Structure 1
């Protein structure tokens, strides 16, 4: 898709649900610190009431350099022309800093497959003839994709794909399907806990809704896990593959495996943080370990 095919978000970024539950002032303080520490990209979901484009626009307005990625904006939350218009404005206002991640999202809809729904949504977006000013830097979009056909759609009709709760083996397969040029961003959950029993208990709590979601169950089956490893809270093998736990060195090494397998970017989701507390101490540790030395530039005002 021409200019949509070029996307560079750096090697690692931050993915978090935390901002769904924080006041605006704390969100601003947190993302400004992440930017100052050199994080190149910040990923936000659309889940608990924070509307995707308002959320992204606010974070972009608080910052100067960091990219803000919708991971994802749900296609059922708004009609395609309005998503197109919103993303167009953000591309104009914040050149090169917003990425529209689109996904099926929500509960299954009878008679509607994710692939058909996404293809139709992209058709509607591409049919828009905007009366708004066009940005100098093109709008960029990616698709949430897991199976081969959705990955092919992401390759052919967007800048690339975002995967969520997948294995390193899936990353290698996804890269084969996407080819060498399309962007591949991989979310992965991490947990700073070295005790296996405590780590797996926290990981299972995090994975509970995904292990009971029809689309995710289908995804885990495609990844090669039999039903007996998916039910009952998930096997140790499944849990350990989907949540990297341990000390900093262990977690960093496992995250690097996604890059070795073909991911352009790994969006790191820190879990296991007590409600009401921030994951910032862990983001600081991860940034020191993963980001290029000198990447942080402190703001002067």
Structure 2
């Protein structure tokens, strides 16, 4: 049993489903504003974005918060190696003060491995620095909510003990069940999962393999797939069918929705849905509309 209502993180109701996308990296600010406002009107309570292709995480979050009235904006994630802890601390305090109870600070190590440290050690050090900081800036009435990007047991434990919970990325349903068991009933668990609206198996798997290609060639992700029980031949050569089908849910709307709900049944509080197969510069909005109608994201 969970220790809090579904979709709730430290009193914030993100709903059971949210939107995760890289798409806003490719469009101008005016289109971002228009899109995020439509998503809010559709009933989505949470919008997640990464920090990877140039847009700085906290500035990005602040802009989207300024464009909306109710939606929660979640950094998924802000890279700890992109900025010193004191700047993350100051930015998060300002967003919490300016937009009470609407911003969630997701933190992750991000980027390439750094010599002389490990992601776990780096994250512990960063959290220590954050917790030791004091500021002369006005304190927000409600505190900063933070999540940690986590996959392995030790990072999940750190997320349980030093944050409100964990965000996982590109995992299967079995991992969600294992994560819930490790986190216990009280920590928040958000799961990102890619979806593709394509019913032809050959076309769907070709697009899914292209999406997964960078993750099938990086050491941390390859190690992750091995720990999840995938054989070497399933990881190499673009990914075997079982792996591809587990990590990208494809098919018609009913099929995709049913597979997403499996994460909730396995213990996820919230599923951040990433629609893939969208060309840069185009929008996934038609699919977001369909998902909003099918998933009722405004319900916690």
Where do residues 143-292 of structure 1 align in structure 2 (5 Å cutoff)?
Answer: 143-291=148-296
The match for 1:34 among 30, 39, 46 is 39
Where do residues 55-66 of structure 1 align in structure 2 (5 Å cutoff)?
Answer: 55-66=60-71
Q: Structure 1 residue 135 and structure 2 residue 146: aligned?
A: no
Q: Structure 1 residue 76 and structure 2 residue 81: aligned?
A: yes
- Give RMSD over aligned pairs: 1.2
Change (3 A) 1:7 1:155: farther
- Is the 2:26–2:280 Cα contact (8 Å) retained in structure 1? no
Deviations 1:175-232 (A, max 9, x none): 0111001000000000000000000000000011011111111111111112221111
Q: Secondary structure at the match of 1:76?
A: coil
Normalising by structure 2, report the TM-score.
Answer: 0.95
Equivalent residue, structure 2, for 1:98: 103
Q: Secondary structure at the match of 2:271?
A: strand
The match for 1:114 among 115, 119, 129 is 119
In 1, the alpha carbon distance for the partners of 2:230 and 2:27 equals 36
In 2, the alpha carbon distance for the partners of 1:165 and 1:57 equals 26
In 2, the alpha carbon distance for the partners of 1:110 and 1:237 equals 34
**Cα deviation, residue 8, structure 1:** 3.2
Deviations 1:225-276 (A, max 9, x none): 1222111101100000000000000000000000000000000000001232
The match for 1:12 among 17, 31, 43 is 17
In 2, the alpha carbon distance for the partners of 1:157 and 1:130 equals 20
- Is the 1:5–1:182 Cα contact (8 Å) retained in structure 2? no
Normalising by structure 1, report the TM-score.
Answer: 0.95
Deviations 1:64-107 (A, max 9, x none): 00000000000000001110110010001001100000001001
In 2, the alpha carbon distance for the partners of 1:180 and 1:240 equals 29
Q: Structure 1 residue 123 and structure 2 residue 128: aligned?
A: yes
Which aligned segments of 4 or more residues in structure 1 are displaced greater than 2 angstroms?
4-8
In 2, the alpha carbon distance for the partners of 1:146 and 1:78 equals 22
Q: Secondary structure at the match of 2:13?
A: coil
Q: Secondary structure at the match of 2:62?
A: helix
Unaligned residue ranges in structure 2 (runs of 5+): 1-8
Q: Structure 1 residue 89 and structure 2 residue 76: aligned?
A: no
In 2, the alpha carbon distance for the partners of 1:94 and 1:7 equals 13
- Is the 1:43–1:68 Cα contact (8 Å) retained in structure 2? yes
- Is the 1:15–1:42 Cα contact (8 Å) retained in structure 2? yes
**Cα deviation, residue 9, structure 1:** 1.2
- Is the 2:12–2:102 Cα contact (8 Å) retained in structure 1? no
In 1, the alpha carbon distance for the partners of 2:10 and 2:183 equals 11
Give the paired residue count.
291
In 1, the alpha carbon distance for the partners of 2:237 and 2:112 equals 21
